[in-house]
Amino acid sequence: MRNPTAFLKEEYDDLVSKSLDWKIQHLNGPSTPHCIVNGKEVIMMTSNNYLNLANNSKVKRAAIAATKKWGAGAGAVPGISGNLRIQKEFEERLAKFKGVEAAVAFPTGFAVNSGLIPQLIGKGDLVISDELNHGSIIDGVRLSKAERAIYKHNDMADLERVLNEAENNQPVPRRILIITDGVFSMDGDIAPLPEIAKLAEEHGAMVYVDDCHGEGVLGEGRGIVHHFGLQGKVHVEGGCMGKGFGIIGGSCAGSQDLINFAYNKSRTWLLSTSPTPATFGAAIAAIDIMEKEPKHNKKLWRLTKYFKKRVDKLGFNTGNSQTPIIPIIVGEPVKAKTLSDELFKEGVWGFPIVFPMVAREKSRIRLQINAGLSTADLDFALDKLEKIGKNLEII
């Protein structure tokens, strides 16, 4: 007789045998630059908390104050009775911060992509996606009924080729959507957004950028669109408060028409309970800090340049990183996991990234800089990287 759940263990065991399984670590306290993981103190270098706002006293106080005033939860999906005034306040502040007409909050960044992409495009349309786009974009595209094309990573000649081929097809697509990460989360490089916007304008295509790893980092915290001065040229800005903002939640920013459309079409917004009041209180405080205290962003970039220069000098392969995401690309999954394990023993937490997150032969540990770290912390990490890298014959 068929065993309906045998595949669960079989497939997991297969992952373990290939060193492709995820081993979940547990923090014994907050996600701080120096944190306790399974009872061991380590330097945190595997967090998206770029500005260290998850631990900022103003952000924490704002979350507590919002909970006291508005309660622990919104009570319903936003379209029914869960759209509290504090949520609207956040959305208005975010739109102003990004320099666009309007914004809307989602439960997560993943929910933005999985809920909005399938509504923007459908049968008779074409979506064109960078080959290294995030899994949430891939899932959102798969949920649509549009035709799909992929262009080589950040290759504008290949994007132009795809667009030209689409224009020569019969019938021509009803709509074309070009979608890209802003900052690519596994490699730390930046999308050539001005060139994408130019090609899109020539072909009458929409541009959708997932800026989850750009918020708080690029454009003085406002993200990649502000970084390149492309307001009005990029039609959809997807965002995530779980990274530079230090909280949780997703967002979509753009024209008022876009937000009205999302209100009425996106099921991940319509059918999900609103994020907590604490989330919005903290997010508003995070915007205040990014606007009034640029020192956090400036320190993040100073530390990033310091660390990147020295890790490159040691001979590690950091790919095309241009941001606080700095991959140490080592090749095989086993070697990436061994590097991570040995670093952890020495007091540095750098998480291994293996297939299917990246190609098997491009396994790595991903190190991420946090404004709460010090130069001494980075020197400590560099010393351990050099020692272990030589022992493992990576450098």
Active site residues: 185, 213, 243
Task: Choose among 119, 96, 49: nearest CA to 262.
Answer: 119
Amino acid at 271: L
> In the Cβ-directed half-sphere of 167, how many Cα atoms lie within 13 Å?
12
Query: Which amino acid, residue 148?
Result: R
Rounded CA-CA distance 387/381 in Å is 10
Give the span between the Cα atoms of 323 and 187, in whole angstroms. Answer: 9
**Is the four-CA dihedral 225, 104, 324, 288 of positive or negative sign?**
positive
Distances (CA, A) of 233 to 100, 215, 225: 11, 18, 9
Task: Provide the 10 A C-beta neighbour count for residue 175.
Answer: 15
Among the residues of 314-374, which ranges form H helices?
333-345
Nearest to 323 by CA among 313, 340, 308: 308
The token duo for 47 is: 């967090």
- Residue 387 backbone dihedrals phi, psi, to 5 degrees: -60, -50
Q: Give the bridge partners for 37, in sequence order.
A: 27, 40
DSSP letter for 183, please: B
CB 210 within 8 A of CB 137: yes
